[in-house]
């Protein structure tokens, strides 16, 4: 039964992907890639990766679609008819695919419990984390405690990407016209769309509330700082899309958002330094409180807060920069 | 079920190759980024598929003995990879916008032509 569901979802993904290649209307391609993300999130749920599915749905179907649409309004929606011969790329792709399939023949079978991947550190996480960390969600334990270094690294990478985007786009272009992509013109046109405005007003608080739930319930269910940040950002971006960039920037000024992106990394690294100052290893939360389980839970909560602040700041910064970009003259 | 379980890897490789083809065969930079996204997503699926245990459930501990959980480690790796993925996508889109402003087009061949004629 399960493999039929897998097959069905993978079939949908393949059809969507092939349609995306064939379409030359980029707007439709972006919308389809959003659907692709949503279907792959469903597949991730059937593969037991609930945390990842939540992330994929929020990022793929939410944030990256908005960013891509913002870019399309700046660079044009039509793809030119391809002039190149597709034979050489096709050959490369077929050969690479054949080599990869040949590689899977030596792989251990799908889902077997004695696969090498399940016999290394994973059993320890599953058996000991309940006692050592004291929270049921093993993914959160591994993410924020056992592998806190990795997560600090990832958070720093996101911060670096924000700095990169700001360096590329914050300067403003030389040839400008007075129309922002999602700015003033849109807030004027949306004034009369009552359903959209009322609908958004009703949805936004619930999206933000759900973000809080995902953040603080991460110990017991799927969720965590990354997911909560993206859901928060999606809720805020919805507000900005309907009510205009100017209003959104009055609620949350760009300077505050830039600060957020840096502040989260500081919180995360600061906890690491605090534990070092207390005489234990970097990010070893036992120094924070006397009871080892309480210390772990407190450490995880603070670290997740750092992740939330940075990722939220990063997503909103990128949105502000792309959406506030003025269209250059053709 | 007579379908071999490994079919999931093969279809994921097919998706990966669709993304790869878009990346190398298409000239439009936005289309390339969409292709890169499909490529990236299929790698996520490959990792998560390896972490699946037959008859397992999501790695959130419940009371009682003898519950099989899927491997949490790939989930952690991919979770952070998705966020880094959207950050790199944003960087790519930023570069695309700058290229459009500098060259007036996002088609690779036209960009190359204009670059040569400088």
The stretch A22-46 carries a mean pLDDT of 94
B100 to chain A: closest CA residue: A75
Residues of A in contact with B3 (CB under 8 A): 3, 7
Report how far residue A41's alpha carbon sits from residue A206's, in angstroms, rounded to the nearest whole number: 21
Is A53 or A116 the better-scoring residue by pLDDT? A53
Residues of B in contact with A169 (CB under 8 A): 94, 97-98
Q: Tell which of A27, A72, A92, A138 to mutate to test the B interface (max B CBs under 10 Å).
A: A138
Q: Is the pLDDT of residue B82 over 60?
A: yes
Beta bridge partners of B28: B107
Contact A273/B at CB under 8 A? no
Contact A106/B at CB under 8 A? no
Contact A295, A286 (CB under 8 A): yes
Report how far residue A230's alpha carbon sits from residue A248's, in angstroms, rounded to the nearest whole number: 17
The stretch A3-7 carries a mean pLDDT of 89
Report how far residue A17's alpha carbon sits from residue A32's, in angstroms, rounded to the nearest whole number: 8
Contact A116, B50 (CB under 8 A): no
Q: How many CB pairs under 8 A join A and B?
A: 298
Among B83, B96, B106, whose Cβ lies nearest the Cβ of A226? B83
Provide the pLDDT for residue A229: 94
Contact A283, A167 (CB under 8 A): no
Q: Tell which of A21, A83, A311 to mutate to test the B interface (max B CBs under 10 Å).
A: A21
Domain annotation for chain B: domains and CATH numbers? 3-51+70-117 (1.10.287.3510)
The stretch B26-52 carries a mean pLDDT of 93
Report how far residue A219's alpha carbon sits from residue A134's, in angstroms, rounded to the nearest whole number: 9
ipTM of predicted assembly, 2 dp: 0.93
Report how far residue A104's alpha carbon sits from residue A242's, in angstroms, rounded to the nearest whole number: 48
Report how far residue A82's alpha carbon sits from residue A86's, in angstroms, rounded to the nearest whole number: 9
Tokens 């004695």, located at residue: A114
Is A171 or A104 the better-scoring residue by pLDDT? A104
Provide the pLDDT for residue B116: 86
Q: Is the pLDDT of residue B11 over 90?
A: yes
Contact A59, A230 (CB under 8 A): yes
User: pLDDT digits over B87-115, tens only?
Assistant: 899 999 999 999 998 888 899 888 888 88
Q: Is the pLDDT of residue A285 over 80?
A: yes
CB burial of A186-211 (b: ≥16 within 10 Å; e: otherwise) equals bbeebeeeeeeeeebeeebeebbebb
Classify the C-alpha dihedral B103-B104-B106-B112 as positive or negative: negative
Provide the pLDDT for residue A191: 65
Give residue A259's pLDDT band: very low, low, confident or very high (50, 70, 90). very high
Pick the closest to residue A133 from A306, A299, A303 (CA basis): A299
The stretch A45-72 carries a mean pLDDT of 91
Contact A129/B at CB under 8 A? yes
Contact B96, B107 (CB under 8 A): no
Map residue A137 onto helix, strand or coil.
Answer: strand
Structure tokens at A81: 């008819």
User: pLDDT digits over A260-273, tens only?
Assistant: 999 999 999 999 99
Residues of A in contact with B35 (CB under 8 A): 21
Give residue B2's pLDDT band: very low, low, confident or very high (50, 70, 90). very low
Taking residue A85's Cβ as centre, other Cβ atoms within 10 Å add up to 9
Provide the pLDDT for residue A100: 93
> What letter would DSSP give residue A180?
B
Pick the closest to residue A159 from A237, A14, A255, A264 (CA basis): A264
Q: Is the pLDDT of residue B1 over 50?
A: no
Among B10, B71, B86, whose Cβ lies nearest the Cβ of A59? B86
Give residue A178's pLDDT band: very low, low, confident or very high (50, 70, 90). very low
Provide the pLDDT for residue A177: 44
Contact B20, A96 (CB under 8 A): yes
Provide the pLDDT for residue A181: 52
The stretch A10-26 carries a mean pLDDT of 93
CB burial of A168-184 (b: ≥16 within 10 Å; e: otherwise) equals bbbeebeeeeeebbbbe
User: pLDDT digits over A102-161, tens only?
Assistant: 998 888 888 888 888 888 888 888 888 888 888 889 998 898 888 889 899 999 999 999
Q: Which residues of chain A from 42 to 101 reach within 8 Å of chain B, CB to CB? A: 43-44, 47-52, 55-56, 59-60, 63-64, 67-68, 70-72, 74-76, 79-80, 82-84, 86, 89-90, 92-94, 96-97, 100-101
Give residue A176's pLDDT band: very low, low, confident or very high (50, 70, 90). very low
Nearest chain A CA: its distance from B46 CA (Å): 10
Q: Is the pLDDT of residue A330 over 60?
A: no
Lowest mean pLDDT across A106-110, B3-7, B74-78 = B3-7
Q: Which residues of chain A from 242 to 261 reach within 8 Å of chain B, CB to CB? A: none
Angle A300-A138-B12 (CA atoms, 0-180°, nearest 5)? 120
The stretch A210-238 carries a mean pLDDT of 91
């Amino acid at each position: 039964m399960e493999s039929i569901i897998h097959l069905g979802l993978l079939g949908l993904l393949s059809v969507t992907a092939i349609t995306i290649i064939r379409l030359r209307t980029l707007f439709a391609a972006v919308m389809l890639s959003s659907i692709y993300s949503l279907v792959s999130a469903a597949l991730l749920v059937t593969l037991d990766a609930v945390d990842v599915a939540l992330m994929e749905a929020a990022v793929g179907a939410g944030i990256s679609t908005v960013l891509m649409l913002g870019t399309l309004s700046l660079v044009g929606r039509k793809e030119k008819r391809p002039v190149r011969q597709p034979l050489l790329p096709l050959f490369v792709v077929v050969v690479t695919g054949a080599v990869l399939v040949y590689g899977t023949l030596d792989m251990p079978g799908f889902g077997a419990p004695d696969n090498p991947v399940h016999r290394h550190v994973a059993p320890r996480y599953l058996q000991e984390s309940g006692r050592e960390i004291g929270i049921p969600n093993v993914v959160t334990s591994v993410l924020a405690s056992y592998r806190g270094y990795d997560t600090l690294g990832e958070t720093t990478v996101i911060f670096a990407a924000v700095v990169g985007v700001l360096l590329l786009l914050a300067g403003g272009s030389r040839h400008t016209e007075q129309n922002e992509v999602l700015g003033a013109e849109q807030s004027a046109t949306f004034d009369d769309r009552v359903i959209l405005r009322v609908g958004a007003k009703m949805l936004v608080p619930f999206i933000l509330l759900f973000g809080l739930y995902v953040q603080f319930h991460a110990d017991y269910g799927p969720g965590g700082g990354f997911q909560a940040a993206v859901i928060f950002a999606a809720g805020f971006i919805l507000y900005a899309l309907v009510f205009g960039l100017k209003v959104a920037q009055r609620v949350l000024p760009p300077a505050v958002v830039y600060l957020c992106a840096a502040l989260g990394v500081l919180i995360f690294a600061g906890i690491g330094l605090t534990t070092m100052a207390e005489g234990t290893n970097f990010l070893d939360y036992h120094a924070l409180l006397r009871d080892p389980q309480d210390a772990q839970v407190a450490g995880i909560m603070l670290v997740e807060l750092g992740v939330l602040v940075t990722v939220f700041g990063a997503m909103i910064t990128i949105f502000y920069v792309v959406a506030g970009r003025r269209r250059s003259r053709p | 079920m007579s379908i071999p379980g490994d079919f999931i890897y093969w279809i994921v490789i097919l998706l990966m190759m669709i993304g790869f083809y878009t990346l190398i065969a298409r000239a439009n930079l936005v289309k390339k980024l969409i292709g890169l996204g499909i490529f990236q997503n299929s790698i996520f699926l490959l990792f998560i598929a390896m972490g699946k245990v037959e008859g397992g459930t999501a790695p959130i501990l419940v009371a009682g003995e003898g519950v099989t959980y899927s491997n949490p480690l790939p989930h952690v790796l991919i979770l952070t990879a998705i966020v880094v993925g959207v950050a790199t996508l944003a960087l790519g889109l930023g570069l695309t916008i700058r290229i459009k402003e500098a060259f007036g087009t996002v088609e690779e061949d036209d960009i190359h032509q204009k670059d040569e004629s400088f």
